[in-house]
Every structure is written in structure tokens, then in C-alpha cells.
Amino acid sequence: MIQLSNIEKVYRTKTIETIALNNININITRGEFVAIMGPSGCGKSTLLNIMGLLDAPTGGSIIMDDQQVTALSRKKLALFRNLKLGFIFQSYHLINDLSVIDNVELPLLYRKGISGTERRKRALEALEKVGLSARTKHYPNQLSGGQRQRVAIARAIIGNPEIILADEPTGNLDSAMGEEVMNLMLQLNKTDGTTIVMVTHDELMAKKTQRIIHFFDGQQVS
Ligand code: ADP
Ligand code: ADP
């Protein structure tokens, strides 16, 4: 599903050169739930940004869903991202001026041929899946952290993505809420077969996934 070959990322400024990723080779199969762990600065966010097609590697190739994405134009990349990928962030990244249901609908606004009625219907279905049908008209700041993250998950799944990329999804939550969010992701992985890649510092959460990839200093160490 995701095949990273010889991925390298070097950040260059006038005076400093940082090798953030050094010859990364990772194969993630369809339906897998993988955790990525490692100390701060080891390249986890860089890797997730590259898998999310938000940032280009300085070397190597990426195949996602049988497509050589490193060769795609900017426009095709944006389309691929919108159709195939869902994102979950540590700090939720919800829009505070929009209601819960409007937040969830956002990814569909960029798709052609989906009516307003259809968007609503699918947003309600997504909110039902995350157990928030009773909070559609609320605003993000009226919700707990765990509820906000569940809204973000509904937004991530509304477009039926093949792959979900999650950056410290439980990092801002207490253990009970973290557990809830983690269980929800496990359920999505199991019932929908969504491939999930999750960066986490939390060993307990990581252990619930199928595989842990450990990073250190820009390299995969196990
Ligand atoms: P992690 O997510 O594991 O904390 P990052 O991927 O954020 O690690 O960072 C990996 C390395 O790349 C670090 O040394 C960081 O300072 C550097 N880095 C990350 N982003 C940039 C950037 N935009 N410009 C320069 N260096 C960066
Ligand atoms: P998230 O985006 O996962 O919700 P935050 O917004 O709290 O998490 O950001 C996590 C950390 O990653 C911040 O310290 C931010 O500066 C850093 N970060 C995010 N994107 C980049 C990037 N492209 N390059 C370097 N650092 C980044």
C-alpha cells in the first residue's frame, strides 16, 4: 500500500545541513496499522509529511496505492491526497468558527459532484461512526479534547480514505480519552480495512498496533 524506497530528506539553509531522513525503506501493506516511535527530532514528522505528500523527499521514491506518487504533478498530488488520504493531528486542527458537522464536511467541499445534501448525509454517517451524532451543531470549543479528536476522525474518514496518517493523535488527551480515540482507530482499521500509520510517543498505544517501527536520528533502527 505504501512503499518507501531509499527515502532521504535533507534540510538545507545557508549555513546548516540537517539530514532528517537517511535511506528509509519501509513497506506497509494494505490494511496494516503501524506505529512509528522515536525520540524528538528523529524525523517522525518529516516522514509523516512525506507520506502525506505535503513535503517532497530530496531522494528516493514513494509508491502509494500502486501509483508512483513522486512523479505526479502538484495538481495530481493534491487530488490524490484528497481522494486517498485522511489526516489526524495532535492538536485536532478543527476550525473554531464552524460547527462540528461543517468541520466534518470540509474534505468533500473540494470534491466535484457531491451535492450539499449528500455531504450532510455522509457527515452524519461519519459522526455516527465516532459516536457524536448528538453533537452536530456544537462548536469545537464546546467539546472535550477527546470529542474534538473524534470530530477530527470523522473529518478524516468522510472521504473513505485508503490510508489514515495520524500524528500523535492521543498526545493531548488524558489516558481515558486517549484510549477511546485509540479504540476508534483500531475499529476503523478492522472494520473498514483502512491502512493507518500513527506517530506516537505512547508505548501503550503503540503496542495495540500490528507493528512498531523505531526511528533514531533519521534512520529506522528496528
Ligand atoms: P520529530 O518529528 O521526530 O520530532 P522532525 O521530523 O520534526 O522530528 O525533525 C527531524 C530533523 O529535521 C530535526 O533535526 C529537525 O530539527 C529538522 N527539521 C525539521 N523540519 C525542518 C525544517 N523545516 N527546516 C530545517 N530543519 C528541519
Ligand atoms: P500537530 O500538527 O500534530 O497537531 P502541532 O501542530 O502541535 O501538532 O505541531 C507539532 C510540532 O511539529 C510543532 O512543534 C510544530 O512546530 C512541528 N511541525 C509541524 N510541522 C512541521 C514542519 N513541516 N516542519 C517542522 N516542524 C513542524
Domain regions of the chain by residue span: 2-220
3-state secondary structure of 112: coil
The superfamily CATH assigns to domain 2-220 is P-loop containing nucleotide triphosphate hydrolases (3.40.50.300)
Torsion angle in degrees (nearest 10) through CA of 99, 104, 108, 109: 20
Residue of 44, 46, 197, 215 best suited for mutating to test ligand 1, as the one with most atoms within 8 Å of CB: 46
Each as own residue / partner, the long-range contacts of residues 27-30 (CB below 8 Å, 24 or more positions apart, any chain) are 27/2, 27/3, 28/1, 28/2, 28/3, 28/195, 28/197, 29/1, 29/195, 30/1, 30/162, 30/193, 30/195
Helix locations, 110-214, DSSP H: 116-129, 145-157, 175-192, 203-206
Supply the pTM of this predicted model. 0.89
- Cα 133 to ligand 2 centre (Å): 30
Distance CA 102, CA 90 (A): 20
pLDDT per residue, tens digit, the chain (222 aa), is: 999 999 999 999 999 999 999 999 999 999 999 999 999 999 999 999 999 999 999 999 999 999 999 889 999 999 999 999 999 999 999 999 999 999 999 999 988 899 999 999 999 999 999 999 999 999 999 999 999 999 999 999 999 999 999 999 999 999 999 999 999 999 999 999 999 999 999 999 999 999 999 999 999 998
Residue 44 · residue 215 · CB < 8 Å = yes
Residue of 36, 42, 44, 45 best suited for mutating to test ligand 2, as the one with most atoms within 8 Å of CB: 45
Cell numbers at residue 143, please? Answer: 467539546
Strand-strand pairing, 2-12 and 59-64: antiparallel
Quick one: pLDDT at residue 170?
96
Atom of ligand 2 nearest to the CA of 92: 4
Residue 131 · residue 53 · CB < 8 Å = no
Quick one: pLDDT at residue 112?
86
